[in-house]
């Protein structure tokens, strides 16, 4: 087995690390989390730290959360109230890391403005402090893993910005624009159908962006109509786990699909609880412009008993599991997925299949790595698979080592693949 290097996190979260820390608790606690959402028109109007969604059979309740690590006061509370009014949210939450005198007075005044002011100055009690928001009790392995994933995302986005300034390639500009419009550009369309339409429009605009970037790297034109990676790009990215820009574009493409899935589920919940009125002319027209694949997929997904948990499932599978299943211990893998996402073990195949219903792919989305006990979600960024590899090390072997994990798996290339993936994630987190 190739030598694997353990990934480590800063022990004291500050600034963006502190935001990641709280986001990780929320996501590990059973909520769907969207982060760092920027509202930009002619100029940047505002940036939202966190929006959580609590998916239930008949509701998808949002909670807007602002985080402050330093000094704060009434001006921050009034600013948040202004955001809530502008965005048509009734209430929100303000979590502060630094306490101050007369905190109860500030909390009462914030409550009058429908803002829940939360003192999280004692980090040893964060789990207890955030308990009021969560669906399940977050555990340390998931919290750490999600923090790794968020840090990796920030490192990758910084790389895009750096390349965009330094090289001025079409691909870097396009990739930066794609992420912004997926993460933020469509968010402020509060109607799920309108947001799906906007998301799908940008999804189509940048379809096959990873293949186009590969083509540009190989000396071709980014704008050429290419649909597949070259043999060289594919081998370097997936088999050799190379640290390249394609790992970032794969992540952005995957994030786009998960975000569309999330909005589609919100639409289904609205439709089922009666808030979605198809007799309304505007809603009907909006519905008709949805792509055929999306409409057909929604009509199938709605038949699944636990469809409302699919966004939570896919966010967990992305940021914690790293987009793969270890087939040697598949039963254990499914048990963990079930426990952490709320979907019964026998319903997990439906949760995986929903991806193929919305985004049909010949042969399905899962791929068996050669001579390896890994079932991998096709075109998933290997850098995030490294995060998932490290998670398995933390939860399965008693000694929490890769050697211990290796004893649980077959004698094939599985550990070699996990090692490469782990080391790639470690290199990108440096």
Q: Tell me: the pLDDT tens digits for 134-185? A: 999 999 999 999 999 999 999 999 999 999 888 778 999 999 999 999 988 7
Determine whether domain 16-140 maps to CATH 3.40.1350.10. Answer: yes
Please say if the pLDDT value at position 378 is more than 90: yes
Band of residue 1 on the pLDDT scale cut at 50, 70, 90: very low
**Cα 361 to Cα 227: distance, rounded to the nearest angstrom:** 13
Rounded to whole angstroms, the maximal C-alpha distance in the chain is 64
Band of residue 428 on the pLDDT scale cut at 50, 70, 90: very high
Cα 199 to the center of its chain, rounded Å: 15
Classify residue 42 as exposed, middle or buried by CB count within 10 Å of its CB (0-12, 13-18, 19+).
exposed
Please say if the pLDDT value at position 6 is more than 80: no
380 CB neighbour count, 10 Å cutoff: 23
| Percent of the chain with pLDDT strictly greater than 70 | 91
pLDDT score recorded for residue 193: 76
**Cα 311 to Cα 307: distance, rounded to the nearest angstrom:** 8
365 CB neighbour count, 10 Å cutoff: 18
Cα Rg of the chain (Å, integer): 22
* 367: Cα within 13 Å, side-chain hemisphere: 12
Q: Which residue has the higher pLDDT, 191 or 15?
A: 15
pLDDT score recorded for residue 292: 81
Nearest to 341 by CA among 307, 322, 313: 313
Please say if the pLDDT value at position 9 is more than 80: no
Describe the strand order of the beta sheet including 32-40 as a list of residue ranges: 32-40, 44-56, 59-68, 92-96, 115-119
pLDDT score recorded for residue 168: 76
Per-residue pLDDT reduced to its tens digit, 114-132: 999 999 999 999 999 999 9
188 CB neighbour count, 10 Å cutoff: 18
Per-residue pLDDT reduced to its tens digit, 91-100: 999 999 999 9
**Cα 323 to Cα 58: distance, rounded to the nearest angstrom:** 28
Please say if the pLDDT value at position 357 is more than 90: yes
Any idea what DSSP says for residue 369?
P
**Cα 161 to Cα 245: distance, rounded to the nearest angstrom:** 12
Q: Are 23 and 145 in contact (CB under 8 A)?
A: no
pLDDT score recorded for residue 42: 45
Backbone angles phi, psi at 235, to 5 degrees: -65, -45
Q: Are 115 and 91 in contact (CB under 8 A)?
A: yes
Please say if the pLDDT value at position 415 is more than 80: yes
Q: Are 286 and 213 in contact (CB under 8 A)?
A: no
Per-residue pLDDT reduced to its tens digit, 261-308: 999 898 888 777 655 555 554 555 566 567 788 888 888 998 999 999
The mean pLDDT of 312-335, rounded to a whole number, is 98
Per-residue pLDDT reduced to its tens digit, 45-86: 678 889 999 999 989 999 999 999 889 999 999 999 998 998
| Percent of the chain with pLDDT strictly greater than 90 | 71
| Residues of each domain in the chain carrying CATH 3.40.1350.10 | 16-140
Q: Which residue has the higher pLDDT, 340 or 269?
A: 340
């Amino acid at each position: 087995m190739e030598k694997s290097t353990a990934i480590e996190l800063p022990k004291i979260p500050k600034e963006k690390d502190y935001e990641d820390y709280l986001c990780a608790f929320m996501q590990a606690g059973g909520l769907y989390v969207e982060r760092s959402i920027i509202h930009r028109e002619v100029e940047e109007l505002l940036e939202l730290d966190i929006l959580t969604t609590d998916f239930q059979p008949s509701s998808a309740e949002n909670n807007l959360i602002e985080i402050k690590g330093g000094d704060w006061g009434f001006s921050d509370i009034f600013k948040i109230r202004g955001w809530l009014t502008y965005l048509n949210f009734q209430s929100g939450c303000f979590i502060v890391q630094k306490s101050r005198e007369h905190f109860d007075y500030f909390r009462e005044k914030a409550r009058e403005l429908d803002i829940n002011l939360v003192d999280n100055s004692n980090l040893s009690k964060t789990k207890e402090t955030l308990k009021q928001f969560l669906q399940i009790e977050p555990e340390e392995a998931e919290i750490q893993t999600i923090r790794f994933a968020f840090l990796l995302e920030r490192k990758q986005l910084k790389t895009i910005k750096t390349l965009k300034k330094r090289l001025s390639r079409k691909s870097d500009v396009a990739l930066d624009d794609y992420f912004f419009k997926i993460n933020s550009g469509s968010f402020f369309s509060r109607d799920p159908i309108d947001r799906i339409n906007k998301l799908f429009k940008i999804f189509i605009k940048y379809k096959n962006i990873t293949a186009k970037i590969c083509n540009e790297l190989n000396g071709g034109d980014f704008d050429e109509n290419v649909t597949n990676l070259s043999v060289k790009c594919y081998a370097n990215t997936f088999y050799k786990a190379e640290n390249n820009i394609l790992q970032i574009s794969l992540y952005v493409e995957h994030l786009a699909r998960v975000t569309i899935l999330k909005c589609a589920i919100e639409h289904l919940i609205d439709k089922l609880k009666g808030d979605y009125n198809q007799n309304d002319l505007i809603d009907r027209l909006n519905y008709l412009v949805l792509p055929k694949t999306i409409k057909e997929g929604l009509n199938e997904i709605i038949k699944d008993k636990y469809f409302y948990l699919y966004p939570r499932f896919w966010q967990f599978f992305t940021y914690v599991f790293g987009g793969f299943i270890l087939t040697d211990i598949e039963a254990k893998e499914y048990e963990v997925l079930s426990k952490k996402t709320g979907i019964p073990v026998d319903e997990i195949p439906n949760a995986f299949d929903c991806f193929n219903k919305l985004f049909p792919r010949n042969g399905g989305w899962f791929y068996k790595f050669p001579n390896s006990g890994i079932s991998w979600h096709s075109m998933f960024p290997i850098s995030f698979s490294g995060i998932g590899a490290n998670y398995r090390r933390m939860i399965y072997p008693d000694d929490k080592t890769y050697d211990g994990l290796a004893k649980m798996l077959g004698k094939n290339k599985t550990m070699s693949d996990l090692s490469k993936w782990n080391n790639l994630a470690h290199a990108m987190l440096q």
